[in-house]
Amino acid sequence: MCAPPMSEIDRLIQLLARLPGLGPRSARRAALHMLKRRETVLQPLARALADAAAAVGPCAICGNIDSRDPCAICADPNRDPALLCVVEDVADLWALERSGGFRGRYHVLGGVLSPVDGIGPNEIGADRLVARAAAAAVAEVILALGFTVGGQTTAHYLVERLAPCGVRISGIAHGVPLGGELHYLDDATLTTAVAARRPLG
């Protein structure tokens, strides 16, 4: 016997429950909130989701997520091409942008080295980063990686890989807690961390 088809409401709740920070209980609350506010919440949200699904994708240059490729940051002529800031995740890029303390360009690794999870240099696109860092315009690479084991392992690896590029290599320092992930930091701490970067290689 097949299971009865899932109702639209059940499906909505099940999908919402997969979002970070939402369990089944809060997913039910969110679904009910939307369904009761069809015109002001549900329909605009459905349109925004459809638009995002159709238009948004990764930037081929830096790995940011945007509705244009290259992304708005890569395409912005006012950003300093001499500074390349390496982050683990798009969430970290967004956090640095919110802090407003950095006016260079970014490179999103999409993860950190983790041999047990099968994440090696290929998975984090190390070659792509080295190629970008070797470009004449780049003077400094800032490794803005979290003070986690994976983040620091990755930083050490990238220092070695980037050394032949002849760029200055720095790491963020100040105020980033041990075990800390960048996107949990407040704007002021993050701005100070980038401003107080230290040479690594």
Using rule CB under 5 A, residue 61 touches Zn ion: yes
- How many residues line the site for Zn ion (CB under 5 A)? 7
Three-state DSSP class for 17?
Answer: coil
CB of 108 to Zn ion, least distance (A): 8
Which range, of 63-71, 120-128, 134-142, 155-163, touches Zn ion by CB under 5 A? 63-71
Alpha-carbon span 15 to 31, nearest angstrom? 10
Q: In the set 27, 59, 144, 193, which binds Zn ion (CB under 5 A)?
A: 59
CA angle in degrees (0–180, nearest 5) for 194-140-191: 10
Using rule CB under 5 A, residue 64 touches Zn ion: yes
Closest CA to 79 of 67, 64, 58: 64
**Structure-token pair, residue 70:** 């290259």
CB of 97 to Zn ion, least distance (A): 12
Would residue 200 be called left, alpha or beta, if left means φ above 0 and alpha means ψ between -120 and 50 degrees?
A: alpha
Q: What one-letter code names the amino acid at 173?
A: A
CB of 94 to Zn ion, least distance (A): 13
CB of 48 to Zn ion, least distance (A): 22
Using rule CB under 5 A, residue 74 touches Zn ion: yes
**Residues of the shown chain interacting with Zn ion in the complex, contacts defined by CB under 5 A:** 59, 61-62, 64, 70-71, 74
